[in-house]
Homo-oligomer: A and B are copies of this chain.
């Protein structure tokens, strides 16, 4: 893990890094010393590690809860090179949808494919970040919606260090089997008028989680337009389970 640049804003220290070929960013409270809970964040499709939706939530988790937060670019996203295989499949999928195919199963298949790469990448990032003195081997949480849910469910299922997860805007098609292996507390976000994930698919994924504590938060509106108060709710959820 190699830090490439650092800056600070509003009480948040931001450090860009590379881990092998993976570009990432670590946010910590300015002046932080010693072990603290860490939240791994997964960005959405076509977005990147410093997408405004990620950045604003990360800063909120850092300043509101004293958490460390890490995000890395998913293959083919952000500062990573174009990925020939993923591009080819995405192009084929667009053609299929144009020809009348259902969107949800295609998204699900694509996310399962990408997860095969990101799960080991994220576990390696977690190993590396926890070796830093201002993070350490504390409890870990995961936050990810949309693509960040499709990739997050297999990650949370595979990674025993994750003790609580905020997931959402995703359906059962991609990840019901992995969801059944998750037993940590889950806060699951549904947009009631989601035009990308059918409501029944969302509710089926919520059903699939193996967790004794799992809470579903639904709000009106289209995919991605989460209300601001869910940001506070996520902070309280992580504070309850990681502190």
Contacts and interface: CB of A to CB of B under 8 A. Distances in A.
Interface of A: 190, 192, 206-207, 212-220, 227, 229, 232-233, 236, 240
Contacts of A212: 220
Contacts of A216: 190, 192, 216-219
A215 B215 contact: no
Classify the secondary structure of A's interface with B.
mixed
A217 B232 CA distance: 15
A218 to B, nearest CB: 4
Contact of A218 (B206, B213, B227, B232): B206
A215 B218 contact: yes
15 contacts: A190-B216, A192-B206, A192-B216, A206-B218, A213-B219, A213-B220, A213-B227, A215-B217, A215-B218, A215-B219, A215-B227, A216-B218, A229-B240, A232-B236, A233-B233
Nearest to A213: B227
A232 B232 CA distance: 13
A166 to B, nearest CB: 14
A163 to B, nearest CB: 16
A199 to B, nearest CB: 9
